[in-house]
């Protein structure tokens, strides 16, 4: 029993080392903000008057609270992204945040009633497989001294 | 040069700018001297990318532009390897390529 507990603890420590909580939380937040950003942006664009006048569109943008929300989300995304970059390689973090393509797609299908086909579902499975491969690599490049 | 070719060209330029801009942001958090310059240049490059991308949408369908811009993944990974000396293993490349293909399939039909 104690042996099994020790093995579980050791496995958990190994997972923590491979994928620190702070990094996991940052990546999750990045995916959530990106998803919200894209959906709010889309709703905001759809709410614009459809008269084709660029100037009226700019005025509508400046007075629409949704666009203020978009800018706020962008600022949060930027600072969270810098925090992620402090804790992980760029070549690790960037592909993982591609999971937002999947969340945006799923929410668009659920709430915006967009059509879905088999090729898109295959695409989602391939993206998930790709993120799994990335998660098997070290999240940060060790310096030469550490490797030696 | 046809309208579509111009659009594709502009989106490809955007993917290169994305790679450079992200490398600059990463440099800013690596404890570099004058980190504020790296961050400022990074932001300027990413803003320039947004302007060019908006311009590209005049020549290309949004779905097509979005699909081509998934090349960002390849561009960022390649530049991380070359400019930041990050250790991009074969496993990571496989992951990046799978995500690139998957995202392409999801967004190309959007």
Model confidence over A79-111: pLDDT tens digits? 999 999 999 999 999 999 989 888 988 888 888
Residue in chain A closest to B105 (alpha carbons) equals A123
Interface test with B, best of A95, A144, A145, A146 (most B CBs within 10 A): A95
CB contact under 8 A, B99 and A98: yes
b/e B42-59 (16+ beta carbons within 10 angstroms → b)? beebbeebeeebeebeeb
Domain extents for chain B?
Answer: 3-108
| A64–chain B nearest CA distance, Å | 20
Contacts of A103 by beta carbon, 8 Å cutoff, 6+ apart: A31, A32, A35
pTM for the full predicted model: 0.81
Which tens digits make up the pLDDT trace of A28-83? Answer: 999 999 998 888 877 776 666 666 566 666 777 677 777 788 889 989 999 999 99
CB contact under 8 A, B26 and A85: yes
Residue in chain A closest to B82 (alpha carbons) equals A91
CB contact under 8 A, B102 and A85: no
Tokens of B84: 């930041």
Strand ranges (E), chain B: none
Contact A61/B at CB under 8 A: no
H helix runs in B1-110, sequence order: 3-28, 35-56, 62-68, 72-83, 90-108
Q: What is the ipTM of this complex?
A: 0.88
């Amino acid at each position: 029993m104690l042996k099994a507990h020790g093995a579980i603890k050791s496995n958990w420590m190994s997972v923590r080392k491979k994928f620190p909580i702070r990094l996991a939380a940052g990546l999750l937040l990045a995916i959530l903000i990106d998803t919200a950003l894209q959906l709010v942006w889309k709703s905001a664009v759809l709410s614009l008057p459809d008269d084709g006048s660029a100037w009226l569109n700019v005025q509508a943008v400046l007075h629409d609270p949704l666009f203020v929300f978009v800018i706020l989300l962008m600022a949060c995304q930027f600072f969270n992204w810098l925090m992620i970059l402090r804790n992980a390689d760029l070549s690790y973090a960037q592909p993982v945040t591609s999971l937002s393509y999947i969340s945006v797609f799923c929410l668009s299908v659920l709430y915006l009633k967009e059509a879905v086909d088999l090729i898109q579902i295959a695409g989602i499975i391939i993206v998930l497989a790709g993120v799994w491969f990335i998660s098997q690599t070290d999240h940060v490049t060790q310096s030469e001294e550490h490797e030696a | 040069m046809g309208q579509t070719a111009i659009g594709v060209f502009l989106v490809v330029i955007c993917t290169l700018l994305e790679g450079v801009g992200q490398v600059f942001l990463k440099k800013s958090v690596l404890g570099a001297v004058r980190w504020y310059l790296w961050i400022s240049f990074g932001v300027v490059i990413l803003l320039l990318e947004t302007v060019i991308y908006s311009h590209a949408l005049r020549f290309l369908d949004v779905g097509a532009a979005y699909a081509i811009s998934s090349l960002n993944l390849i561009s960022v990974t390649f530049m991380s390897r070359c400019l930041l000396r990050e250790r991009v293993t074969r496993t990571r490349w496989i992951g990046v390529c799978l995500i690139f293909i998957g995202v392409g399939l999801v967004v190309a039909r959007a």
